[in-house]
Structure 1
């Protein structure tokens, strides 16, 4: 089918998966950065410093609560209508909400309506992101040959570190402003830039077609009537294990890219620009590790590589905090770089692994819900728990042990997943 609309080039698949996902994660992560740096002051000024930070992180967490709902709803239509249409929708939802946050009046201007609107827009942002990852992975892996699924699945995974990189670059560009200017208007610029990025992503994604693997199911009228119900009835074990396996990557990731910004600037007196720069540099290591892990996954198996990544996630949190606590920028950079390796190993394997464990008729819903439930537990709660633990104990050790415990859940769960079982059972021919 080469040259037909159903057989896009590897370059166009990469662009649709990677560029669109990068833009959406940029939108998502700038909220986390703003929550750590400025939202407590602007939208919750009536609280104490710690309570304001908790409120800002709570608003950040709201987006994660919406993500499983977005995964279920968008996954439903992705399994019934098609992957491409939903990818365009998620881009518009997330980008539109992000731009509106950049225009939002603060508490000083409109009172309690400001944090309420912030929460509403964060919910919309999270709803859109909820259906993004699954569609981006499938638009790539369903066009791939069996021996290249992990590499194709990693295209969407690049979007996470690139989103972190670009969001930190955007904030780094304005972080040097005087505090008064940064708090007044500088923080809005990264949010407003989303408008330009969404236009680029829309053009790229609108040119893509769904893969033959899905089109065959659709043509035979074998799509699931209610994918979520079918998942719960026929695949509850796989859904539960995949959700638990998805906890470790965001638990490690959000500890670094969100909580460390608050912890490092308030408890350890790191400069804001120093931490943003270190996190930004670590994303280069993250991307490189994803590439290596994806190649190894296609050679040795995605499950085996993911297990290695989850094991490193269990081991690393305690030494990571010990290095950051020295107050040395160099050692903090080392801590973040190794954390990036930890995340990259799991990210390089996850797309290929998850696309193999769910049947095609419920695959969009299955991998989306599992990924987002794991993200909610590992990503939404971790900055909140970390802030509360440090406030109660004055020590980072309980935080490190908490992240270790979450990662151990993922390590145990991934052993129960059977790689390739869904595709083998279906025997759906692929290119």
Structure 2
């Protein structure tokens, strides 16, 4: 018999789910921003400007290599021990490694040991982040009825624009320092401030228990002993297509939020503070788009909404770069605002979609691995490849073509996904008016 559990309030779930992803993306964006603006000088001073940028982005990309490994390991224990315990662990490790990056000595102080320490901390950070998003989605979505899963699953996605918002605010403030102060110590401040966010997140996450579906699995002793092996055996199709579907969101996000800082300043000639301000302004639109599209996903179909988002990710790169290339601040602002909507469409649907395509026994492992595969392909490679493409062709067109190809790959992925029927525990979760949710027939009950 499943023990009675009170469903946490929506504000509590929003805070618990989004705080971790906010810290995750705060950590990743301050690193990516620092890689674009200062790491080439501080940690790779003997390289040319382009080579230094590539080296710093390579260090940035190293963290993504560890993410799928972290997704598998953390997902394994998340499916065996519980979502909450792994979320607390990933929060502490991610935040701790970020804080330590802020105190790493420069190349001028300790030589080659400086970039090596930076790489080590990035690997640790990436490993922990690998298990963050999956748990953050599940800690909310498994408390929801099937017809509200996309809305609840979107809570984790709020952390992405919030992380971008806080990281850009931090860098916007320190970027007002003169170049010498910014390069010598100013860039460290955003990394050190992560300790405050971790403390807040730790307190919030300890207040939320695992959802009813996972609790029922534990009490009925149906927890998988080898979740990833069971996943590969039972749902290989959704694992592969889910990973492909997950490429488009980070492909757009990392192009806009990371690469554009380098491209916009070095190529087009925008002021660094101007670009940070435009990205900051776009986060409000991003959050609204997530909420609206999550509600549309629950009302109609998460898969259809996600498909629409991927199509916009295919269509928008050409006009986006054209607007940025104009050198006009207003045009660049429009480019970032629409890009925020593009990301918001996919983010609003993704949590609910990924929750409903995997069985609860393997769900933490499944959505973590699929999501991190997409992040590695769409996120890690993009700043590196975009920098190399522009350096070779002196045009943004090859970058746009690369983004379009990545979008088509994601479109194939999402179209190939199949849903599973909601479990009894999920169907019994109270709906918005307190009544038990009715399992929706037809498209909601498609089995693999």
Question: Please, what TM-score do these two structures have when normalized by structure 1?
Answer: 0.97
* SS of corresponding position for 2:362: helix
The more displaced of 228-237 and 31-40 is 228-237
Q: Is the 8 A contact 2:79 2:364 kept in 1?
A: yes
Structure-2 residue corresponding to 1:214:
214
- Count residues with an aligned counterpart: 428
Q: CA deviation at 1:416?
A: 1.1
Contact 1:28 1:125 in 2 (8 A): no
Shift of 1:10: 2.1
The match for 1:423 is 422
Taking the aligned partners of 1:150 and 1:375, their CA distance within structure 2 comes to 20
1:238 matched to which residue of 2?
238
The residue matched to 1:52 in structure 2 has which SS? helix
C-alpha displacement at 1:8, in angstroms? 2.1
1:413 aligns with 2:413: yes
| Partner residue, 2:85 | 85
Structure 2 CA distance for aligned equivalents of residues 241 and 320 of structure 1: 27
Cα distance in structure 2, aligned partners of 1:119 and 1:83 = 28
Larger deviation, residues 255-264 vs 410-419: 410-419
**Which structure shows the bigger proportion of residues in helix conformation?**
1
Q: What's the CA shift for 1:7?
A: 2.8
- For 2:122, the equivalent position in structure 1 comes to 122
**1:33 touches 1:261 (CA, 8 Å); kept in 2?**
yes
Q: Which runs of 5+ in 2 are unaligned?
A: 430-448
Residues 6 and 211 in structure 1, CA contact (< 8 A), matched pair in contact too: no
- Does the CA-based 8 Å contact 2:70-2:127 persist in structure 1? yes
1:253 aligns with 253
1:114-193 matched pairs, under 5 angstroms: 114-193=114-193
Unaligned runs of 5+ in 1: none
Check whether the contact 1:142–1:211 (CA below 8 A) recurs between aligned residues.
Answer: yes
Asked whether the equivalents of residues 68 and 373 of structure 1 are also in contact (C-alpha less than 8 Å), the reply is yes
The C-alpha deviation readout for 1:209-266, integer Å capped at 9, x for no partner, is 1112101101111111111111112211100000000000000110011000011111
Contact 1:70 1:129 in 2 (8 A): yes
Q: Which residue of 1 aligns with 2:308?
A: 308
Runs of 4+ off more than 3 Å: 3-6, 426-430
Which residue of the partner structure matches residue 354 of structure 1? 354
* Alpha-carbon separation, structure 1, partners of 2:28 and 2:325: 28
| Contact 1:16-1:205 at 8 Å conserved across structures | yes
- TM-score with structure 2 length normalisation? 0.94
Which residue of structure 2 aligns with residue 7 of structure 1? 7
Partner of 1:344: 344
Please tell me whether the aligned partners of residues 6 and 210 of structure 1 are also in contact (alpha carbons under 8 angstroms): no
2-structure distance, mates of 1:7, 1:281: 34
Distance in 1 (alpha carbons) for counterparts of 2:232 and 2:6 = 31
